[in-house]
Amino acid sequence: MSSKKSIDELHSRPAGVNDTTVEALGDLSKALETVHRVRGHLYSAHQLVGGADLTLDRVVRLLREAGHDEMADRVEHELLGRNVLPGRWTFQIVEEFDDGYYAAFQEIERDAREKLAGGRRHIFEAEMKERRRTHGMPGHEARPEA
């Protein structure tokens, strides 16, 4: 599909870029968006586990007040501050994810766009928008008014 005049320059298909390339870049972008969501879930897990660990301070105090020193000791020594994975707290998992898989995914997606589509993003979606919108209908404009 050739680009339409109403698609802005940042999202238009460069000359010579075929449908299969646009589809592949669209899927690569979609996969990266999924990995962005994964990253958010890791940060959520990081904050939730951290909050749970901090709540254990209250648990230990309440167990001691209730006379359950043996259980308080177990929570304090076996659970409070425990690694969630061998040798790792959640901040370390997030950092390793960010510096490894996430960084590589972002770099490869960016490199593919640069080399295959002149760095343009969301070509697939921009062309889909052109196909699906009703030209001339309010709420179906190609882009915001300048």
**Residue 20: what are its φ and ψ, rounded to 5°?**
-65, -40
Mean pLDDT, to the nearest integer, of 23-44? Answer: 97
Tokens encoding 22: 């646009």
Instruction: Indicate the helix (H) or strand (E) that contains 11.
Output: none
The pLDDT tens digits of the residues spanning 41-75 come to 999 999 999 999 999 999 999 999 999 999 999 99
CB 57 within 8 A of CB 80: yes
- Residues 92-119: tens digit of each pLDDT: 999 999 999 999 999 999 999 999 999 9
pTM recorded for the entire structure: 0.83
Distance, in Å, from the CA atom of 84 to the CA atom of 55, rounded to the nearest integer, reads 16
Residue 6, pLDDT score: 61
Of 8, 26, 30, 29, residue with least CA distance to 17: 26
Percent of the chain at pLDDT above 90?
81
Task: Tell me how far apart the alpha carbons of residues 2 and 9 are, in angstroms, rounded to a whole number.
Answer: 13
Give Cβ neighbours of residue 90 (< 8 Å, ≥ 6 apart): 42, 45, 46, 49, 50, 84
Q: Which residue ranges make up each domain of the chain? A: 18-120
pLDDT above 80: residue 127: yes
Q: Are 88 and 42 in contact (CB under 8 A)?
A: no
* Cβ-based burial of 89 (10 A; exposed 0-12, middle 13-18, buried ≥19): middle
